[in-house]
Amino acid sequence: MSGDEVVIIGAGICGLATALALHMKGIRSIVMEKSESLRNVTGAAITIRPNGWRALDQLGVSDILRHTSIPLQRERVVSLDVERLDEISLYHCVGETRCLRRKDIIDTLYAALPPATVKFGCQLESIKLDQHTTKPILRFIDGTTLTTKVVIGCDGAKSIVADFLNLKPTKKFPLCEVRGITNYPFGHSFTYEFTRFKKDNLLVGRIPINNNSVYWFCTQPCIPKDERIWKDPEMIRQHTLQLLSHYPEEIQEMIKTTDTNSLSLKQLRYRAPWDLLMGTFSRGTVIVAGDAMHVMGPFLGQGGSASLEDAIVLARNMAQIMGLNHVRKDEEAFYRFVRQRRIRVVRLSLQAYLIGMISGTSLRLKKFICIMLVTLLFRNQMSHMDYDCGDI
């Protein structure tokens, strides 16, 4: 595999991580990004669990990112309805957990790539296979086409590559989530813990990133009717303040002073676990990874880490197959990748789906069934963090 034979669609976390993993294995790739510049200003932050740090260790960027955040020591769940406090230790029970700005992850991965790996302003319109060679032909919205050998779709929940593979559409949780980052120039007073506040079917999470920055989110029933709320940061702020007017003053103050550029409101989406169990993730030399493959609710904090795992496993399989005497090496590598990743992402997605439904459904019977399934299927609800995707 050489030249521009590997094309990655999307310069998000998975796309950049996959390009870096391939580079480390001596496989050159080109990342086609629809934006005109690196998408490092959208999004707020993500939690990286121990399994994600193992993947970052393999990519050689973990030490850089560790300097941008401080490890969390514990997790607390505070029920404001009944004034109950549940507390578990994070660091000592399940290992390293930190909250990272998405910008820091994107910038770090991008800086580790060879120059000109990412081509900007390349928005994919469609894919088809050449009738004679079966090579993928990519068509972009500016009318240009590109024939390549391998296509890796890392283009998110609304993936054009996933549509080409006939993956079933993503579904919507009955929940939406506001996310933001609040900066404290003179430092904040919060302890380094992941704190969740629950009251009246609302969930507010607060996670310190470092001494001066705090990531927060508010998960709520998906009820905003005014279309402007979904895009206007100031309207998102006012809507959230009104929603949380009965929450502690420190929560309201955090939202009032949050960085407007970091604010977003999105309805939560997922690929159904049963669709992942039966779905076709590759066709010939076209494959999906990351959110394009297995977008899930944020309830486990595993979306980013699972995408990093994908990058490691995919690059490892592609490199291993290169050394074997296979006629269709790329297809064999993709077959192995799908076989190795399917059960992992099905389990993650199922656990996230059940937890999301417990939070989102108003039907008592459905809530009870989901609670019973979580209890039976995931007795150790932290075990997903112990996963090791292996060496690159």
Identify the band that residue 76 occupies on the pLDDT scale cut at 50, 70 and 90: confident
Per-residue pLDDT at 3 exceeds 50: no
Long-range contacts of 90-94 (CB under 8 A, 24+ apart): 90/193, 90/194, 93/382, 94/49, 94/50, 94/382, 94/385, 94/386
- Please report the pLDDT score of residue 5 as a whole number: 86
Higher-confidence residue: 223 or 195?
A: 195
- Place 227 in a pLDDT band, splitting at 50, 70 and 90: confident
Q: What angle do CA 52, 350, 356 make, to 5 degrees?
A: 90
209 in a structural domain: no
pLDDT band of 360, cuts 50, 70, 90: confident
362 lies in a domain?
Answer: yes
**390: pLDDT confidence band, cut at 50, 70 and 90?**
very high
Single-letter amino acid code for the residue at 41: V
By mean pLDDT, which of 96-105, 247-256, 278-287, 378-387 is the weakest? 378-387
Q: How far is Cα of residue 259 from the mean position of the Cα atoms in its chain?
A: 21
Q: Which residue has the higher pLDDT, 283 or 324?
A: 283
Reply yes or no on whether the pLDDT at 246 is more than 80: yes
| Residue 87, pLDDT score | 52
Residue 310 lies in a domain: yes
Residue 215 φ then ψ, to 5°: -95, 140
Tell me: the pLDDT tens digits for 11-59? 999 999 999 999 999 999 999 999 999 987 766 899 999 999 999 999 9
Tell me the C-alpha distance between 347 and 344, whole Å.
5
Residue range 167-210, pLDDT digits in tens: 999 999 999 999 999 999 999 999 999 999 988 889 999 999 99
The CATH number given to whatever domain includes residue 10 is 3.50.50.60
Position 86 pLDDT exceeds 70? no
User: Is residue 234 in some structural domain?
Assistant: no
pLDDT in tens, 257-275: 998 889 999 999 999 999 9
In a domain, 56, yes or no: no
Beta strands in the chain (DSSP E): 6-9, 30-32, 45-48, 74-79, 84-89, 98-101, 118-119, 124-129, 136-140, 145-147, 150-153, 171-183, 193-199, 202-208, 213-221, 264-270, 282-283, 286-288
Determine the pLDDT at residue 181.
Answer: 96
Q: Structurally, how many domains does the chain consist of?
A: 1
Residue 28 lies inside a defined structural domain of this protein: yes
Q: Do the domain assignments include residue 355?
A: yes
pLDDT at 301 over 60: yes
Phi, psi at residue 372, to the nearest 5°? -65, -40
Residue 99 has which token pair?
């909250």
Q: Does residue 48 fall inside a structural domain? A: no
Q: How far apart are CA 267 and CA 383, in angstroms?
A: 27
User: Using one digit for the tens of pLDDT, what is the confidence trace for 111-135?
Assistant: 999 999 999 999 999 999 999 888 9
Find the domain containing 140 and state its range: 6-41+104-170+272-386
Please say whether the beta carbons of 10 and 119 come within 8 A: no
Which pLDDT does position 85 carry in this prediction? 54
Q: Which residue is listed with tokens 């969740």?
A: 196
- pLDDT the model gives residue 223: 76
Residue 282 has what pLDDT?
96
